[in-house]
Chains A and B, each alone.
Chain A
Amino acid sequence: MPVDERHRDYSLVIGNLAGAAIFNSLPMDIDTDGPFALREIELQGVEWNAEVGGNTGILVPSVGIKFEDPAGRLLSQDFVASLGEFPYSGSPIMTPVIPQIIYPTNSTINVWIQNTGTNLLPNARVIFRGVSLHAEGSVACRPEYPMRFQEVPYDYPVQVTLNSSPVNNTPLNINGDADFALRQILVSLVSGTVSATEQYFLRLRDTAEKSYASLDLLALQVMANAPSTLASKIDAPFFNADRPMILVPEIYIKKNQTIYFDIVATPTFPQVLSVCFRGAKVYPK
């Protein structure tokens, strides 16, 4: 059965995860518009323990999860620690799920989560990334390449000034010379300051203004509660050129069309961010 795939993020917001706390069977509901093929997982808001096994300076994320497949079977016999399996928050490298797991329409992913550290984690969340599956031709921004075409790499940078949060409905206008295949999102700080506990989220919406995520597409901040030994990471916490956020599948925007994005953030205002939408111009031959 031919299908259209549409990038989809589901965020399970844990919120406050106290030290040594275990949350059992938290439900993450799948939407009613189509099945969800889970392909990647990431944990966010994960703390680094300053000491492991008496060795100072060994930094270890302190969260483990386990979750169910569509048949209700847990996919690990114990909590899988975030260090071994799931990258820490803000890393652009999500753990792949191979083979993919397809959750039916209107189903639920049940998640167990454990804080193995001693400190409260105030911003814990689990990101399930994959694609929603739809009848062919029924979604906006589906790839519609010409029969013969030439691609040229191209960036659409958009500057966003944050005087308050959220900043909604910022447009990305595609020029009239060519369609644009959006494949990466990068973010840099233009001005202002960033601290370890600030969080940034981006909501991306297609030409029909339908979001690509249940909540926010991605958290732009690297980590919360980072210890001083990792302070150097705070200077460049966003998805820069060497660690972009990759969109799979790509989002195909026809020429002269517009998509929209929102920035939700809790920084010290004002701040200016540069959000770069990277991909390729598609010229018909």
Chain B
Amino acid sequence: MNTFENTPYTPLLNRYSAAPSGFEDHWYTYYYEIATVASGIVDQFPLPIGKEADFYWRGVYGIYPARQFNILLWGPDGNKMALTDQPCENVIGQTGMPGFFYPEVMCLAGSTPKITIIENLGGAGLTFKLALIGVQRFKV
């Protein structure tokens, strides 16, 4: 009789890429401050990536008031990273705790992801603070 054996397992851990031979990864954070428009839209604000190395984008966090903004991220290839805009809280972790996604997004050196910010509650003059976290991959 076939049975299900109690075999060892490890929880499914999505693994990001490791630097191949000849390359070295360094943890890096790209930080941006974006002035928002009261009850308006900041559409496809550029988040430029430096030209010194490719950037493997793995998560985002930021500082923003609760339920103030909807956002939509755009990858470096110009494609949306979600079907529609959604509350910040679904995408961007707060107080230094990032929201991660898998797989990582490879941003070529000099590429430009973007963000669209929709201000919902009429808070004029708010600054949206955003950090993209990941690793820069340098050739050594």
Contact = CB atoms under 8 A, between A and B. Distances in A.
- Answer yes or no: do A and B interact: yes
Contacts of A96: 11
Contacts of A235: 66
A155 B87 contact: no
Contact of B90 (A101, A152, A157, A249): A157
A152 B4 contact: no
Contacts, number: 109
A19 interface: no
Q: Please classify the interface of chain B as helix (H, G, I), strand (E, B), loop, or mixed, using the class held by over half of its residues.
A: loop
Contacts of B4: 1, 3, 35, 37, 102, 133
Interface string A94-114: 001001111000000000000
A176 B98 CA distance: 30
For A35, A175, A241, A250, the residue with the greatest tally of chain B CB atoms inside 10 Å of its CB is: A241
A66 interface: no
Q: Please classify the interface of chain A as helix (H, G, I), strand (E, B), loop, or mixed, using the class held by over half of its residues.
A: strand
Interface residues of B, number: 38
Interface of B: 2-4, 6, 8-9, 11-12, 14, 60-61, 66-67, 75, 79, 81-95, 97-99, 101-105
29 contacts: A3-B4, A35-B4, A39-B9, A99-B8, A100-B9, A133-B4, A152-B81, A153-B103, A154-B82, A154-B83, A155-B81, A155-B86, A157-B82, A188-B67, A188-B87, A188-B89, A189-B67, A190-B87, A240-B93, A240-B94, A240-B99, A241-B61, A241-B92, A250-B12, A274-B86, A276-B82, A276-B91, A278-B101, A280-B102
Given A157-B83, A241-B60, 12 more contacts: A99-B6, A152-B103, A156-B82, A187-B90, A188-B88, A188-B90, A240-B94, A240-B99, A241-B91, A242-B98, A276-B91, A278-B101
Interface of A: 1, 3, 35, 37, 39, 96, 99-102, 133, 151-157, 175, 183, 186-191, 235-236, 238, 240-244, 248-250, 274, 276, 278, 280
